[in-house]
Amino acid sequence: MALLLDWENIKGCLRQEGDASPKLKALLATARQYGPLAVARAYADWGEQSRVGVAVAILVRRRIEPVYTIGGGLKNSADIRLAVDAIALCERSPEITTYLIGSGDGGLISVVNYLRLRGRQVIVIAVGASLSGYLRDAADLTLCYKEAIEPTSAIGKPPPFAPNAAPSTPMVKPTKAKKATPMIKPNATPTDDAAALGRAFAALPRAVVTARLKSKNGVALNPAVQRALQTEFGCKLSTLGRKPGTFSAEAARRGLVQTAVLTKGTSKSDILFLPGEPTPTLA
């Protein structure tokens, strides 16, 4: 996974709440709950940061690369550079399927949508009220720094988290899942359900193509896609929900696939196809 921190945003918001600086050890421990770290970077105008030498030394010791951005009063230089790097990583490193972005800036919504449209899972961590509602709704998961990071360093338990199922979903505190078709179990750990769900979403476009190639009529039926996810890509049935439509409906909401119901005679078939493609027809 890739950890990309808008250092100016995180540290500035913590300073407003009376904290000196981010707790890097606990932050890294939280990030590793979602997978092994391949990239870790912190973006800031380090020439303007107070006690910059100490801050950079601490980052380097924790194996976080400090990325210098243009200062001089230029607004949003850190998050713009973060967005550029995220897009470059997405294109050059397809093996990185999860991105943890440390910022509450709503200006990052475009890069979050870009990553998710390409099958990547995006987790956003922000400080309290600094989290933009638009950014929260765009991400797969949101973490509140105070609740996710500091308890980790204090008691060593996995951080709380919540899937962003709808704009009304509160940050961090999990809502009561519908008993019929839960996407993520409320008491599950990030490693179990969130990471598995992210891998399933990342594999979904390839599973659609696989199901289409195996189909006699060239159409990817929803059950066939889910079988491909399980047999070809190792996704567990429990990860995809109890009903086939639950997972595909969420994938369509995220812009990973399109769905349609095709009718032939008296029979109806739920199908999946990729974004930008015309609606298929049954032969």
Token reading at 186: 């409320």
Residue 183 lies inside a defined structural domain of this protein: no
Strands (DSSP E) along 1-133, which ranges? 2-6, 39-44, 65-68, 98-102, 121-126
As a whole number, mean pLDDT of residues 28-37 equals 87
Does residue 283 belong to any structural domain of this protein?
Answer: no
Q: Do 125 and 230 have their domain in common? A: no
pLDDT confidence of residue 60: 84
pLDDT at 151: 54
The tokens describing 228, both together, are 């491909």
- Both 47 and 155 in one domain: the answer is yes
User: pLDDT for 245-271, tens place per residue?
Assistant: 678 888 888 787 889 998 877 888 889
What is the rounded average pLDDT for all residues in the chain?
76
Which CATH number fits the domain that encloses residue 10? 3.40.50.1010
Parallel, antiparallel or unpaired: strands 162-163 and 220-221: unpaired
Question: With 80 as the cut, is the pLDDT of residue 14 above it?
Answer: yes
For residue 109, the enclosing domain spans 2-163
Give domain status of residue 224, yes or no: yes
**Are 158 and 266 in the same domain?**
no
**pLDDT the model gives residue 193:** 59
**Residue 216 shares a structural domain with residue 134:** no
- Number of domains forming the structure of the chain: 2
Choose the final residue of a domain: 144, 163, 182.
163
Q: What is the pLDDT of residues 64-91, one digit of tens each?
A: 888 888 765 566 788 888 999 999 999 9
pLDDT beyond 50 at 183: no
241 pLDDT more than 90: no
Q: What is the CATH number of the domain that holds 264?
A: 1.10.10
Residue 86 and residue 152 in one domain? yes
42 and 111 housed in the same domain: yes
